[in-house]
Amino acid sequence: MITIFNAVRGIDFLSVLVKMICAFILGGLIGLERSYNHKNAGFRTHILVCIGACVASLTGLFLYLGLKVPTDMSRIGAQVVTGLGFIGAGTIVVTRKKTVKGLTTAAGLWTDGVIGIAVGAGFYEGAILSVFLVLLAETYFANIKAHMHRSPEFKLVVSYFKKDNLDDVLRYCKDRSLAITNLQITGTNENNISMYSGMITLRPDQPVNQKELVEHIDSMNGIVSAETI
């Protein structure tokens, strides 16, 4: 532990003042990055969450150390962690393209609250280091992600007669490192002959030649036709 913080780890006025200011600054640093990138939860939201969590942690300490109330001083902080989940859920949105947005912001808010609890408890070292790592994850690693090129998902429509035929197709796709993210099956029955159609959504882990993929599946036993859309 850093000894310079020892004088302000308690619940006297100076310690409370330092902890509140520290929570304001640390929460604001994370919020500035979120505001700069035009995220839903920005500067003020992160400051409020961090200060609120800090006060909750201080309240638990005050009840136990100041008023000598026989209680678990960590319980209030634990409830804050639970409540932050509801706040973070409000930033998560499912778009029309069935993609999820806002998870990073929600995780950042939750972490911001935990940092506030750490500050209120006097664990300055952990709080300061956490802010540094959060900013590193939200800035530097975001740039790394932007340079990661992943082949887009595509849909494969396969017409077949038996379930085993579809199983062969799915097995072949998995062997080609194609992740199956969705599968929809419809069936028809004409002249006592059953035929099925499966729409498979595939996400490749590496570039794939869709033409060769379709040609191979189309030549498999029991496959009536195969095409990508």
Report mean pLDDT in 10-residue bins for the chain, 229 residues.
84 92 94 82 88 92 85 82 80 69 84 93 92 88 64 88 90 90 87 86 86 92 90
Please tell me whether residues 22 and 53 are part of one structural domain: yes
Closest to 229 (Cα-Cα) out of 206, 205, 207, 198: 198
Q: In which domain, by residue range, is 30 found?
A: 3-146
Tally of structural domains, the chain: 2
Please tell me whether residues 179 and 69 are part of one structural domain: no
Closest to 113 (Cα-Cα) out of 43, 74, 57: 57
CA 55-60-62 angle, to 5 degrees, is 90
Please tell me whether residues 85 and 190 are part of one structural domain: no
Q: Strand 223-228's sheet: what is its strand order?
A: 178-190, 193-204, 154-160, 223-228
How far is it, in rounded angstroms, from Cα 205 to Cα 149? 10
| pTM beyond 0.75 | no
For the chain, the residue count is 229
Asked if residues 72 and 89 have their Cβ atoms less than 8 Å apart, the reply is no
